[in-house]
């Protein structure tokens, strides 16, 4: 099934119609997306700031990361579900939008980075060697997530 076929099917689905036809459903889903963004943003920032040597310097990076992990995973789930619903309601329009694909690419890379290089950085942080790689991983992570946010805003303006 090609992308256009899937997107057209989704755009015509009962789910999409339901969201489009309802006056309040779209704003509610958007609100969830925004609130999830606040929590996810906070978690991404607090962990990467720590890896960069800022913020909660009194704790180890792995302690900070494991403490906020439930919130990071939950808010990410909220973002993915609400994001999918927002996409479904305007599937054809979104898939035709460059900004949307930039966002999806950044999102995929950000998620991969979080579960690979960022996790590794959290493990090796504090040891005498590898300090540069830790900071680099944190910077890449933050920039990718920032890319998701910025391109997300860009969708609305193109």
Partner 1 sequence: MFPQIYHFVEWLDQTPWSVALHESIWAYPIIESVHVLCLCLFLGMAILLDLRLLGITLKRVPVKELADRLLPWTIAGFIIMVITGVLLFYGIPVRTYTNIFFRIKVALLILAGLNVWYFHSGIYTKVAEWGRDFKPPSKARMAGMASLILWAGIVVAGRMIAYNWFDKDH
**Binding site residues, partner 1, CB under 8 A:** 23, 27, 30-31, 34-35, 37-46, 49, 55-59, 63-64, 67-68, 70-71, 146, 149-150, 153-154, 157
Which residue, 44 or 110, has its beta carbon nearer to partner 1? 44
Tell the smallest beta-carbon distance from residue 131 to partner 1 (Å).
20
Q: How far is the CB of 10 from partner 1 (least distance, A)?
A: 24
Beta carbons of 145 and 44 less than 8 angstroms apart: yes
CB of 127 to partner 1, least distance (A): 21
Nearer to partner 1, 34 or 108 (CB): 34
Please identify, using beta-carbon distances, which residue of 132 and 157 lies nearer to partner 1: 157
Instruction: Tell me the closest approach of the beta carbon of residue 109 to partner 1, in angstroms.
Output: 18
What's the rounded Cα separation, in Å, for the pair 11 and 25? Answer: 16
Alpha carbons within 13 A on the beta-carbon side of 81:
12
Q: How far apart are CA 101 and CA 112, in angstroms?
A: 16
User: What six digits make up the tokens of 112?
Assistant: 């991969």
Under 8 Å between Cβ of 82 and 29: yes
Nearer to partner 1, 16 or 50 (CB): 50
Q: Which residues contact 103 (CB under 8 A, 6 or more apart)?
A: 147, 148, 151, 152, 154, 155
């Amino acid at each position: 099934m090609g992308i256009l076929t899937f997107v057209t099917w989704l755009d015509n689905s009962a789910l999409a119609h339901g969201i489009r036809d309802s006056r309040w459903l779209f704003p509610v889903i958007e609100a969830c997306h925004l609130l999830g963004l606040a929590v996810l943003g906070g978690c991404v920032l607090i962990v990467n700031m720590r890896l960069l040597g800022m913020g909660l310097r009194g704790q180890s990076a792995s302690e900070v990361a494991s403490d906020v992990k439930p919130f990071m995973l939950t808010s990410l789930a909220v973002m993915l579900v609400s994001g999918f619903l927002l996409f479904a309601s305007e599937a054809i329009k979104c898939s035709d939008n460059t900004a949307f694909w930039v966002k999806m690419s950044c999102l995929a890379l950000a998620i991969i980075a979080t579960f690979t290089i960022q996790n590794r950085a959290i493990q090796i942080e504090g040891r005498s060697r590898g300090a540069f790689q830790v900071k680099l991983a944190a910077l890449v992570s933050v920039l990718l997530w920032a890319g998701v946010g910025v391109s997300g805003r860009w969708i609305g303006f193109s």
